[in-house]
Amino acid sequence: MNAVLNELNVPIRSEADLVTARLRGREIASTLKFSSSELTLIATAISEVTRNILSYAGSGDLDLRLVRQGQKVGISIVARDRGPGIADLFSAMQDGYSTSGSLGLGLPGSKRLMDEFDLASEVGKGTTVTMTKWKM
């Protein structure tokens, strides 16, 4: 289990929150001295999962957490919504699969950007994406 060093919640209600989420993510991650290219990977992943909240659920929450696991520290991002949920989790993780007309790269792409990635969803209840990037 990860110890939480610092936590910040960003409510996702409108498109403007997407820009805020990326900015807050960069800010909190930079306190761990991630490299500029790692910060860009993190901000891009935040952008994708936040956009999913807005596209599919309309609103939700983003939790940005600085975590420690043994000797390593990192940033853990939890994107959660109470939207319609994802019926086909396997397809949702395939490149190019989309039910909204997007490129279908958001979830599989974010998984490639981060070190750990977990997708949990229940139809009618909502979706939670948890992803972590460790400081190398």
Partner 1 sequence: MNRSRAPILKLGETLIASVQEALMDADLVGLRDELVAEVKKYRATCVIIDVTVLDVLDSFAARTLRHIAQMTQLLGARTVIVGIQPDVAFAMVQLGLTLEGTETALDLEDALSRLKIRVGRERSAQ
Residues in contact with partner 1 by CB under 8 A are: 15-16, 18-19, 22-23, 26, 36-37, 39-41, 43-44, 47-48, 51, 95, 102-103, 105-106, 108-110, 112-113
Nearest distance from C-beta of residue 86 to partner 1, angstroms:
17
Nearest distance from C-beta of residue 48 to partner 1, angstroms:
6
DSSP 15: T
Nearest distance from C-beta of residue 106 to partner 1, angstroms:
6
The encoded tokens of residue 7 equal 């936590």
Q: 88 or 95, CB closer to partner 1?
A: 95
Residue 53 contacts by C-beta under 8 Å, 6 or more apart in sequence?
Answer: 12, 59, 60, 62, 79, 81, 83
Q: 48 or 81, CB closer to partner 1?
A: 48
Coil/strand/helix, residue 89: helix
- CA-to-CA separations, 81 to 52, 85, 129, in angstroms, rounded: 9, 8, 9
Q: Which amino acid is at 95?
A: D
Nearest distance from C-beta of residue 124 to partner 1, angstroms:
26
Q: 106 or 126, CB closer to partner 1?
A: 106
Helix, strand, coil tally for the chain in percent (to 5): 35, 35, 30
Nearest distance from C-beta of residue 104 to partner 1, angstroms:
8
Q: 100 or 123, CB closer to partner 1?
A: 100
CB 77, CB 66: distance < 8 Å: no
Q: 33 or 112, CB closer to partner 1?
A: 112
